[in-house]
Amino acid sequence: MRKTIHVLILGFLLFPQNAPGRDTLNNTGIISTETVIFNFERNLDSLMNLWYVRLSTGNSHLMRDIRADNKQMPVVIPDFPDSVYIERISRIPTIMDLSYNNNVRNFINVYTRQRRDLVEVMLGLSEYYFPKFGEVLDLYGLPYELMYLPVVESALNPRAVSRAGASGIWQFMYGTARMYGLTINSLVDERLDPYASTHAAARYLSDLYDTFGDWNLALAAYNCGPGNVRRAIRRSGGKSDYWEIFYFLPRETRGYVPAFIAATYAMNYYSDYGLTPRKVDIPHLTDTIVVNRELHLKQVAEVLDIPLQLVRDLNPQYRRDIIPATEKGLTLRLPFDYSPDFVEVQDSIFAYRKEELLAREKITARPVTNTFVPSPPPGTTALNYTVKTGDNLGYIAEWYDVRAQDLRNWNNIRGSLIRAGQNLVVYVPADKADYYKVINEMTFAEKQARTGVSATTAGRTDVVPATGDGTGYIYYTVRPGDTLWGIARSFSGVTENQIIQLNGLSTAGRIYPGQQLKIKRAGSR
């Protein structure tokens, strides 16, 4: 049975402009959406470089043709009152809570007014991607409206890469991607594979919903991580509605759910704004071939006479155009009409220019130095924090009320490894610099006390004593994003190896959300 959609008109009572500890709304009553819009537009601009997005006639750039068309055929964009938006959203058949407010309307204007030309390109791509997303969502029993999430995440660009390092059409970070079974190595990055990454995204979203029991909270956690959502819930006094914890979430996440609701609206009602899906040169019918031997995409393109860029865009997961040899095999996606030809002449394809294209010296890359220097967020002051023994990025982020990913970006850290004595720069609100400055001199227990977290369990609210055995063990339920290292650091006197041995784990990386780990209580023999 369809769940009743709650349509909320949120005004000053829900979003007070001068609430302490909250960001102030601008003079229109709308939260700033600059970061989300910036990511959206950057991904759209990157989308223009895909072969199948360009026009099939000539070499003209798609944007030039779109702008020319728009000049020749001006469109009058209708304006609707709030009551129309509310009524239309209520007619979308969904089990998700699609609320309407000024923030949602702001994003609707982005999709239907400000970037109409490029949204029409996405509408064209949606005819290719949405049926495939829908099949996977149906397989996992998830709401079909989640197919609109990549509109916000990547603008349907399978090669989208965020400044934080999230990649692909579903924007997976490295650790989360590996946790959900995606292959990432020097030659293959399945985050860029629209098919493999959709299955991983469906599993991740399902786990997030199981964790929070609310789709808006699950979406927020998908954007900023479940830890940030739990922290927002805790700081709000235990409230479990997205809009009630709105101001306790990271700034970018506040625009994320409104952007998703607006994308859902725009994808359903685009024709009411004179938007028309643009034809893109992408084969709607494709076929996959399992390849066990090493293969270069140029071998396929030149023997079968397919444009190399099309083969690349259908197989974006192969970083250097090489499909490595594996025992289980990897997939090669081709236009449907070409798959019989591949099977028929595959021996010739594998032999073609093999020594030239697959020579070791041809595929060896020089290391690339990361020269990205982030700009300080506006209105902030830089503080220095010296890493102490026992610290990790998660703790430090908690103490300074920032995201761990921000700490990585500000300090050019890849992964989560930090060392005692290392100096980190942390950007805090300028008017609260004195409040945060003293953290560097506090003990671990004092810093934990400021966040209301026990120093022994470090915020692990799901740790419960073992019952009935009297052995002094406790049990921890693995959450999305957890690592054995992070779990071990959360308990006094516990190491990774102890957890591995006690639970019979074969390797330090093989844990999964929902798994229960047995941990020896401090002081037990």
Query: Active-site positions?
Result: 153
Q: Residue 359 is encoded by which pair of tokens?
A: 């020579």
- Identity (one letter) of the amino acid at 375? S
Between β-strands 423-429 and 464-465, what pairing exists: parallel, antiparallel or unpaired?
A: unpaired
Burial 172-188 (b: 16+ CB within 10 A, else e): bbbbbbbbbebbbeebb
Q: Which tokens go with 130?
A: 């949405």
- Tokens found for residue 8: 């909320």
Q: Please state, in angstroms and rounded to a whole number, the distance separating the CA atoms of residues 438 and 442.
A: 7
Residues 404 and 394: beta-carbon distance below 8 Å: yes
The SS3 assignment for 188 reads: strand
Q: Which helix (H) or strand (E) holds 516?
A: strand 516-520
DSSP conformational letter for 184 = B
The CA-based angle 317-322-325, given to 5 degrees, is 100
Are 483 and 229 within 8 A, CB to CB? Answer: no
- The alpha carbon of 414 is separated from its chain's Cα centroid by a whole number of angstroms, namely 17
Residues in the chain: 525
d(CA 3, CA 143): 12
> Would you tell me how many other CB atoms lie within 10 Å of the CB of residue 206?
17
Cβ atoms 57, 176 nearer than 8 A: no
Q: With CA atoms as reference, report the closest residue to 315 among 289, 294, 341, 340.
A: 289
